[in-house]
Amino acid sequence: MKHTDFGQMPCPIARSLGKVGEWWSILILRDAFYGLTRFDEFEKSLKIAPNMLTRRLAGLVEGGLMERRQYSTRPPRYEYILTKAGRDFKPVLLAFIAWGNEHLSPEGASLLVVSRETGKPADQVLVDANSGLAINDEDYMFAPGPAAPEVMRNRINEASRRMPN
């Protein structure tokens, strides 16, 4: 199946989905944050077909989220390490955890983010590092960035006119 290439779209959400929007890719990144690095570890954890795992790992390497490093020459074996871009994906995974626990886990949370010091669960909130304020609909909105094309500017401006003050 041919996928649409979102790489040339000006929207950062579309471009991000182009790199990690396929669910196996996100689960591979999750497992990399758990400390897995080797093909057989990912294969065992995810119960994914080897050909599918090969394609997804190659896509993550090509997309700059993981680096492929040789750790054995005989036979040649490789591990997959998160790059800076891959490590910077962590807040997205944290948001998935919080959202999934809140909306998709009537039986209770199966995964928590906890303080290393106290062991208490975090109450995750997205915060503006400049002001320290929680980002919410009352105080923050979408705005076109300097590279936004006219169509995006119009869409955002029209949407902001519809929003209640």
**Whether residue 107 has pLDDT greater than 90:** yes
The whole-number pLDDT of residue 31 equals 97
Determine contact, residues 127/135, Cβ cutoff 8 Å. Answer: yes
Per-residue pLDDT averaged across 5-29, rounded? 84
Domains identified in the chain and CATH numbers: 12-84 (1.10.10.10), 131-164 (no CATH)
In whole numbers, what is the pLDDT of the chain averaged over residues? 91
**Whether residue 8 has pLDDT greater than 80:** no
Per-residue pLDDT averaged across 132-151, rounded? 92
- Judged by average pLDDT, the poorest of 11-25, 26-40, 54-68, 80-94 is 11-25
Position 2 confidence tier, pLDDT thresholds 50, 70, 90? low
Provide CB contacts within 8 A for 66, sequence distance 6+.
Answer: 28, 29, 32, 57, 60, 80, 81, 82, 83, 86
Per-residue pLDDT averaged across 10-17, rounded? 83
**Whether residue 1 has pLDDT greater than 70:** no
Buried-state track 115-124, b at ≥16 Cβ within 10 A, e below 16: eeeeeeeeee
Per-residue pLDDT averaged across 99-104, rounded? 92
pLDDT in tens, 56-95: 999 999 999 999 999 999 999 999 999 999 999 999 999 9
**Whether residue 19 has pLDDT greater than 90:** no
